[in-house]
Structures are given as C-alpha cells and as structure tokens.
Amino acid sequence: MKNIYEINPALLESLNKGFAILDKVLNGDECKSIIRMYSKTTLFRKTIVMERYRFGLGEYKYFNYPLPNIIQQLREHLYKLLYPVANSWFKSLNINFQFPETHEAFIKICNANNQTLATPLIFKIWCRRTQHFTPGPLW
C-alpha cells in the first residue's frame, strides 16, 4: 500500500472542496486480492441489488467484521486524512462535534451510539466501456 500521508497541497485543497482523487493507493496485486474477496460470501453481511432500487446495474456488498486486513488498513489510513477535513467542515457549519484523531476512537463512539455493523463495502457495476461487470472497493 502506498504511503498516502505523503500528500501534496493540491490534494489537501481538493479535500477541503469535498472530494479528492487518490491515485494508485494500492498496487495491482492488492487490487486483485480485494476483487477476489467478492466471491467469498462469509466476508459479507448484506448484498444490495442496485436494480431493485433503480440505482443502475450491479450490486454491492457490505463487509462483515472482522474486516480483511487490507480493508481495515485502508480504513484507518484514510481516516487519518479525512478527520481533520470533517472537523473543519463541522466547525464551519457550527456543529458541536469533533471527530477523534484515531479511527479506533471513532469506532468506539459509533458503537456507543448503536452503530455496530461494518460499513465498508465493495461493488460490482456494469462497465459500459468493457461491457462487463467490474468489481471494486468503495467506502
């Protein structure tokens, strides 16, 4: 996994705008390992068929705890990038809440408020370019 903490100021600026593109965070083997997870039903707690809700063609699956190591690592590393941005937004919106510095502390807050289910998911959508279903991670 690429060191996502080595971020240039342009990326931080885009985070403040509400989005950012993190290019090549995972290498090819790491991507393939996540794609292979899609067929392992025991890793998931729920599957959503997108057509049922008119979300398009495809489906997505919510991971179950315990999360696979690479998913947990991504979650923790991305949290470190995002919590300062979220705190800045909340301050601007006069919302009296500050996200903690660690993902572990955030999960404790979630659990204390009855959010105990894993929320990372992986999706498989119809790719118009390849005319195939394409799996990929989404958080």
Per-residue pLDDT of 21-51, as tens digits, reads: 777 888 889 988 998 999 999 999 999 988 7
* Average pLDDT estimate for 119-136: 74
The whole model's pTM is what?
Answer: 0.79
Between 88 and 125, the higher pLDDT residue: 88
Mean pLDDT across the chain, nearest whole number?
Answer: 84
pLDDT band of 109, cuts 50, 70, 90:
very high
The most confident of the ranges 57-66, 98-107, 130-139 is: 98-107
**Three state DSSP letters for the chain:** CCCCCCCCHHHHHHHHHCCCCCCCCCCHHHHHHHHHHCCCHHHEEEEEEHHHHCCCCEEEEEECCCCCHHHHHHHHHHHHHHHHHHHHHHHHCCCCCCCCCCHHHHHHHHHHCCCCCCCCEEEEEEECCCCEEEEEEEC
pLDDT band of 6, cuts 50, 70, 90:
low
Q: Which of 8-12, 78-82, 128-132 has the lowest mean pLDDT?
A: 8-12
* Average pLDDT estimate for 63-68: 96
